[in-house]
Structure 1
Amino acid sequence: MNDPHNINSAMPSEVALNQPAHEPVLSRGRAVIQLIIFSIIGIVCFFIPFTINDKSTILFDHASKFLVTEMHSVSVFLLFLMMIYGAFKPIVTGKYKESLTDIVLTLAKVAGLILGAIYVMGMAPDVIMTPDMMPFLFEKLALPVGMIVPIGALILAALVGFGLLEMIGVLLQPIMKPIWRTPGSSAIDAVASFVGSYSIGLLITNRVYLKGMYSTREAMIIATGFSTVSAAFMVIVAKTLGLMEFWNVFFWSTLVITFLVTAITARIPPISMAADDDIDVEARDCKTNEGNRFAAALDLGIETSRRAGNIPKIFWDNFRDGLEMAAAIVPSIIAVGLAGLLLDKFTPAFDILGLLLYPFTWLAGVGDPMEAAKGMSAGLAEMFLPALLLSEADLMTRYVAGVVSISSVLFFSAMIPCVLATKIPLSIPKMLVIWFERTVFSILIAGAFGHLALSMGWIF
């Protein structure tokens, strides 16, 4: 077994390096050029804003906006194709029979498809046709998600398919154990989740945990703290909250806050009480002469680029995964999102849950702390709900809500069922406690940074 702390041995990046033996291997020179070109493409598309038609935002947001606004009918047609596939795939494959959670999620997807259909046909009941219900949910959330996730996955291939991901993993190794109490190899999980998706991160985490390379505590830290929604979803949250003008501030501060909160929750119950002696930590973490870390990172990045294989296939596989993800989440977003909006409008459910968060939104200094607490508590049901419920709030509240949507990590519409599907021993009660802890710390830290950002003119 490779030592995960030896940077001169292969990282456990089965996603990138397990290429078939017959795939051609590039020369080192061509691999370096390929690594540089695709890394630049990914960075430019994701992090550099461009002004088009007086709108300044990142390139793939421009692309999705064009589809949604200029090709609306085509986008709706494509969205329904994805929703039909997403709703009926678990029925056709029989996956819905695997557990009660799968049955509930399948029913939610079918309900979302039906709700979307009756909305488009104008047959929905008046109670859900008010502007802040189905029209907002479908036009401002479901449709952009359906377009952005596949396009984002396509562009993400440039960031994750040609060695940049592995380079980052090696460079982050020295800080993982002292800060997050996880081995250096978990950097791959963290980066894969943040630039890919939580499903990819959880897949890697579960696989490594079952191999005995993570202790129970380490697996819990990684699953609940690193398996965030992807950068593509962050764009949706930022768009809904009107934060795209400050995309880089929002993105990088959310990344830092998310992983800072993980460092805190790793040191408090229930995670800190989990077993950490169910593997031979000393043997696994045995350190060797590490040499020049940057050179080792570069070598691994180049080697990954050399073995990247068929470039069109890499982009197609990522695009297909994006389509699969969009198909799975859009109908459930509509169903769970509408249920959350109806609960917010007609029941005191989020008022009650919001009372638990009120002291912390008050301490964070947001404009209307009770309203903010209610909106952020809805994130337990679906991570998009805080953005939906607080989209008209003041800038400070919108910024904090955006960070909390990402940083709280756990939510019932997708993430919690995904964790339950792994072998990591995380029960629903434990995840509820961890969600509350993450939400509280996210509110406080985001509130502090938000005030600093406002005073410095970074957001305005």
Structure 2
Amino acid sequence: MKFLIPSLIGVLLFLVPISVNDTVTIGLGVMADGLQAAIGPMVPGFMTAVLWISALGGVIVRLLPNSVYQKSIAIMAIFDVGTFWIILRFIGAIFAVMTLWSIGPEVVWSDLTGVVVLYDLVSVLMVWFLFASLFMPLLLEFGLMDFIGAMVRKVMNPLFQLPGRSSVDAMASWMGSGTVGVLLTTQQYEQGYYTKKEASIIATNFSIASIAFSLVIARFLSI
């Protein structure tokens, strides 16, 4: 039962397509869309603050090498990055402020640049990553990927040179969102289940499109 119930919930949330308002999505997508509708206007300001925290946190960790912060694995994992990434974080934070307040060169905060990223893309990614991070252990930690991987290894390996467990990544991406698939792949790579080559193949081939995205393109082309 420890395997069956959590894995079944994970399958229902990540892999079973649901039609809502003529849109194909998954259970996770329904929750993400609901949260986005509820807090959407607050997300740009919140994420701008997060960007500044990430940038300033990287500097603080660098300037205080023997501080209490370095005793926390979580803090170090988030803020202990290279100089190049700290610079990028500051650039992103500055661009976010410019977009949020519509200041500076219009090329940064126009409807075709900064607004698309901060108000459209970031809002979607935040809620998807939030729910995916919360419920992903249902797919990863209770044996589902090992079980399915053992069953489909003889298919995935000859066809794609990938381990059997990658089939769950592919299904999650196709049924739901490429964002979920990329997050799954990243966690599996960091835990040592995928090589760099395998993770790259999965992320760039299986996580590019989904049913919902394909339907949008089909409708646009009147197919």
Is the structural similarity TM-score above 0.5?
A: yes
Q: Which residue of 2 aligns with 1:129?
A: 109
Counterparts of 1:167-186 in structure 2, within 5 Å, are 167-175=147-155, 178-180=158-160, 186=163
Counterpart CA distance in 1 for 2:54 and 2:103 is 22
Counterpart CA distance in 1 for 2:111 and 2:34 is 22
Letter in 2 for 1:139: Y
Q: Which residue of 1 aligns with 2:3?
A: 35
Q: Which residue of 2 aligns with 1:421?
A: none
SS in 2 for 1:74: helix
- Give the alignment's TM-score, normalised by structure 1: 0.36
2:47 counterpart of 1:79:
yes
SS in 2 for 1:137: helix
- Give the alignment's TM-score, normalised by structure 2: 0.66
Percent of residue pairs identical: 15
State which of 114, 125, 147 in structure 2 corresponds to 1:145. Answer: 125
Conserved 8 A contact 2:44-2:119? no
The alpha carbon displacement at 1:145 in A equals 0.8
Counterpart CA distance in 2 for 1:179 and 1:245 is 24
The alpha carbon displacement at 1:195 in A equals 7.0
Structure 1: segments with no counterpart, 5+ residues? 1-31, 209-217, 248-393, 399-453
SS in 1 for 2:112: coil
Counterpart CA distance in 1 for 2:126 and 2:54 is 12
Of the two, which has the highest radius of gyration? 1
Q: Which residue of 2 aligns with 1:395?
A: 217
State which of 192, 198, 201 in structure 2 corresponds to 1:222. Answer: 198
2:110 counterpart of 1:119:
no
The alpha carbon displacement at 1:167 in A equals 0.8
Kindly tell me the number of residue pairs found equivalent between the two proteins: 197
Letter in 2 for 1:395: I
Letter in 1 for 2:28: F
Q: Which residue of 2 aligns with 1:200?
A: 187
Q: Sort the Cα spacing of 1:201 and 1:189 in 2 relative to 1 into closer, same or farther, 3 A.
A: farther
Letter in 2 for 1:200: Q
Q: Which residue of 2 aligns with 1:67?
A: 35
Conserved 8 A contact 1:156-1:195? no
Give the superposed CA RMSD.
4.0
Q: Which residue of 2 aligns with 1:380?
A: none
SS in 2 for 1:39: helix
Conserved 8 A contact 1:42-1:159? yes
Q: Sort the Cα spacing of 1:198 and 1:47 in 2 relative to 1 into closer, same or farther, 3 A.
A: closer
Letter in 2 for 1:82: V
Counterpart CA distance in 2 for 1:122 and 1:44 is 42
SS in 2 for 1:197: helix
Q: Which residue of 1 aligns with 2:73?
A: none
Q: Which residue of 1 aligns with 2:61?
A: 93
Counterpart CA distance in 1 for 2:46 and 2:137 is 22
Q: Which residue of 1 aligns with 2:65?
A: none
Counterparts of 1:50-65 in structure 2, within 5 Å, are 50-52=18-20, 55-65=23-33
Conserved 8 A contact 2:95-2:108? no
Q: 1:140-162 CA distances to partner (integer Å, 9 max, x unpaired)? A: 21121112112122222221121
Counterparts of 1:379-458 in structure 2, within 5 Å, are 395=217
Counterpart CA distance in 1 for 2:136 and 2:19 is 21
Letter in 1 for 2:197: I
Structure 2: segments with no counterpart, 5+ residues? 63-75, 171-180
SS in 1 for 2:125: helix
Q: Sort the Cα spacing of 1:196 and 1:220 in 2 relative to 1 into closer, same or farther, 3 A.
A: closer
State which of 4, 7, 14 in structure 2 corresponds to 1:46. Answer: 14
Counterpart CA distance in 2 for 1:245 and 1:180 is 23
SS in 1 for 2:136: helix
Letter in 2 for 1:168: I
